[in-house]
Amino acid sequence: MGKVLLAAPRGFCAGVERAVATVEEALSRHGPPVYVRRQIVHNTHVVRELAARGAVFVEELTEVPEGALVVFSAHGVAPAVHRQAAERRLTVVDAVCPLVTKVHREAERFAADGYEIALIGHADHEEVVGTVGHAPGRIHVVESPAEAERLDLRDETRVVWLSQTTLAVDEVAETARVLRERLPALADPPGDDICYASQNRQDAVRAIAPRCDLLLVVGSANSSNSARLVEVALRAGARAARLIDTADEIVDAWFEGVSTVGVSAGASVPEAPVTELVAALAERGYREVEEVPVARETLRFTMPRRLAPG
């Protein structure tokens, strides 16, 4: 008999719940189609379900008919995207996560005060692209400690670091440490930029990883916070860790010599695929399930102003 350790918290965070509810409410009030710029959150299950209800996901605003309603994703956008929407007379509902907006405001404030900004993150991630647009010419994206070593700034006496919200805590800490050694005048962000949900899910994975022969993280390949959970699991002592989108992706060979399987899910993942995975593991003999809670989450965000009640 095998055992499953179920990390808690896992799955949807407050920002994702708000973003998904925003599209649902827009569909309810206005009817389909409701256009959504990029994936509302990085999860194939969510996107597929909303598309079935009438959401139309587009890459760029040029694909949205003039005058239509469009929802911006939880990852946030640059001001230039809002300007383009205004030019096309689009009705915008911005579902950006408030914790991402916090980083946007920090970037704007530091840029206005004459700071150079080292933004720890992945340059091609939508959140980082959006944040860079809030302080163009001032932000330098730093993807790794090695890039921190090579960072070239115009003014090394007035510099601050910020970070993408979905990174691994220890990953950011190491890059920030190198930046601090490289730049003695480096200022820290006014508050922790990594969102509470990413931290909690990483802590939950750390709590179970040493007991796991295999740890499975449910999440889509383009989900930054889900991918970080796999890395955290391996660093925390899991013998093996893998990212899967659905239970259909598990491979029998993974379970050779495995008595304990850990399960977690990224912050953009609904509970249904986790439930399906646990059922699939039960069919393979892993019938004992122990949930391991490390934090209780009660935070909720209000709907975007355009869809708020009243």
On whether the CB atoms of residues 31 and 54 are closer than 8 A, the answer is yes
**Residues linked to residue 161 through DSSP beta bridges, in sequence order:** 118
Query: What is residue 137's DSSP assignment?
Result: T
User: What's the rounded Cα separation, in Å, for the pair 143 and 121?
Assistant: 5
* Active-site residue, selected from the candidate residues 17, 25, 116, 127: 127
- Asked about 127 being catalytic, the answer comes back as yes
User: What's the rounded Cα separation, in Å, for the pair 85 and 226?
Assistant: 31
On whether the CB atoms of residues 171 and 178 are closer than 8 A, the answer is no
Burial class (CB in 10 A: 0-12, 13-18, 19+), 138: buried
How many angstroms separate the first and last alpha carbons of the chain?
Answer: 54
User: What's the rounded Cα separation, in Å, for the pair 214 and 204?
Assistant: 15
> For residue 9, is the peptide bond before it cis, meaning its omega torsion is within 30 degrees of 0?
yes
Catalytic residues: 127
